[in-house]
Amino acid sequence: MPSLVEATAADIDALLPALEAIYKDIHAHPELSMAEFRTASMVADRIEKLGYEVSRNVGKTGVVGVLRNGDGATVMLRADMDALPVTEATGLPYASQVKAKDEDGIEVGVAHACGHDLHVTWLLGAAQLLAKHRDAWKGTVLVVFQPGEEVGRGARSMMDDGMATRFPKPDIILGQHVMVGAAGTVGYRSGTILSAGDSLKVKLFGRGAHGSQPQTSIDPVIMAASTTMRLQTIVSREIAPLDSAVLTVGALQAGTKENIIPDDATLKLNVRTYDEDVREYMLGAIRRICCAECAASGAPRDPEFTTLSSYPLTVNDEQASSRISDAFKQWFGERAFETQPAAASEDFSVFGRTWGVPYVFWIIGGTDARVYAQAKAEKKLNQIPGNHSPMYAPTLDPTLRTGLEAMICAAAVWLDQQDEKA
């Protein structure tokens, strides 16, 4: 009897055209976080026709499909469904024209500028192959289509909606992400692969006045500008050179008119770290500096801190990672390689952390291999449009095939009947 990977490989060529059509449809119809109603309905209908036990509206818009196929390991495969408040600028014939209102009621462009449309397509393809080739594996498969990854709430909302009691507990949780890298490659890593990410809103309070009478004000614009500059010294002067951290002030919002000093200003900032102690220090230092700058300005009250999102570290289980990397190297050869930790963050690990089971996450390259090689040779990799860019558009060939093969290859480590460890 052929292995699961070998059995499904013969069908991938025939499946790719249909998957490409699904991908382009999802890409042209993106939905914002926690509002993935069309996408969720589509994936639920498709996997239900394949014979999966389907649960809809898990954690609001999440979908869980369960396929039982005898005794064996339980494997969870996960894909995120949400898009970004970005106006697409790729010029693709299937580019998004969608606009929607965000959670603040502001109309924004919406685009799959992070690759989640590809993630959904990969998982739909894997679900179809697993359903067709039940004679090549044993166990239980959970296919999980998750909402709200971009706001860091989706995985938690699904777990809070009873995933741990409603569905079989996985022995392993698997996920992948398309990122800048040569298409056709798979980047694996044991231990930390993605950073922790924390996003904060800090409101600074001053005293408004006429622009011609600054002496009667406590200027929150100056306060915000000074705070922004001082925050940059945390990484440059307080974090050890061998530790890694990033602090970005992505928004500074204050005032409405050039001759009015406003009452308040708002900073929105993002922090990425690879160590829990560094993370805690960074968050404490941010609070210290913001409060100190407000005190130095004579602010009438302390700043107000709001957590916008919080992503834990993604730390791959060492034993499970070793088994998957061996499988990747056997199947992909030199196209599988050990990658460095990425500065991106994910809420994928919430499933494994909450369930208390091992998880593994890996990276699929999505950049045309020739474009990537030339940019690397010219030391211009930072000029390739990456995830969250309005120009981001992964090349489909061979990225679509590679991600599908990688998902099946990893799942087969636990499901393949020929694997004595399964």
Please check whether residues 24 and 127 belong to one and the same domain: yes
pLDDT-derived band at 2, boundaries 50, 70, 90: low
- Determine the straight-line distance between the first and last CA of the chain, rounded to whole angstroms: 16
Question: Residue 104: what pLDDT?
Answer: 85
Q: Which token pair is 64?
A: 């869980």
154 SS3 class: helix
Classify residue 422: in a domain, yes or no.
Answer: no
112 is in an annotated binding site: no
Indicate the residue type of 338. Answer: E
- Tell me if 48 is assigned to some domain: yes
155 and 21 within one domain: yes
CATH number at residue 89: 3.40.630.10
Which CA distances in Å does 350 have to 359, 370, 415? 10, 36, 23
Residue 420, domain member (yes or no)? no
Number of domains in the chain: 2
d(CA 80, CA 144): 8
State whether 300 and 392 are in the same domain.
Answer: no
Q: Is 29 annotated as a binding residue?
A: no
CA distances from 57 to 164, 215, 385, 410 (A): 15, 56, 34, 27
Q: Reduced to 3 states, what is the DSSP secondary structure of residue 313?
A: coil
Average pLDDT for 36-64: 98
| Model confidence pTM above 0.85 | yes
Q: Which of 292, 310, 328 is the last residue of a domain?
A: 310
Cis bond leading into 85, ω under 30°?
Answer: no
Same-domain check for residues 168 and 51: yes
Residue type, 255: G
Q: Is residue 293 part of a domain?
A: yes
Does 1 score more than 70 pLDDT? no
| Residue 130 resides in a domain | yes
pLDDT of 417 reads: 65
Measure the CA–CA gap between 228 and 220, rounded to whole angstroms.
12
CATH of residue 291's domain is 3.30.70.360
Q: Which helix (H) or strand (E) holds 316?
A: strand 314-316
Alpha carbon of residue 97 to chain centroid: 22
Determine if residue 409 is labeled as part of a ligand binding site. no
Nearest by Cα to 384 from 405, 367, 363, 402: 367
pLDDT at 420 over 60: no
CA–CA separation, 188 and 328 (whole Å) = 8
Residue type, 366: G
Are 321 and 285 in the same domain? no
List phi, psi (to 5°) of 341: -60, 145
Domain membership of residue 287 as a residue range:
196-310
Same domain membership, residue 185 and residue 247: no
How far apart, in Å, are the Cα atoms of 19 and each of 23, 118, 396?
6, 9, 10
H-helix or E-strand containing 230?
helix 220-231
Cα-Cα-Cα-Cα dihedral sign, residues 72, 400, 369, 317: negative
Residue 167: per-residue pLDDT: 98
Residue 149, marked binder: no
pLDDT tens, 198-255?
999 999 999 999 999 999 999 999 999 999 999 999 999 999 999 999 999 999 999 9
**Mean pLDDT score, 311-327:** 97
* DSSP code of residue 238: I
Q: Is 240 found in the same domain as 175?
A: no
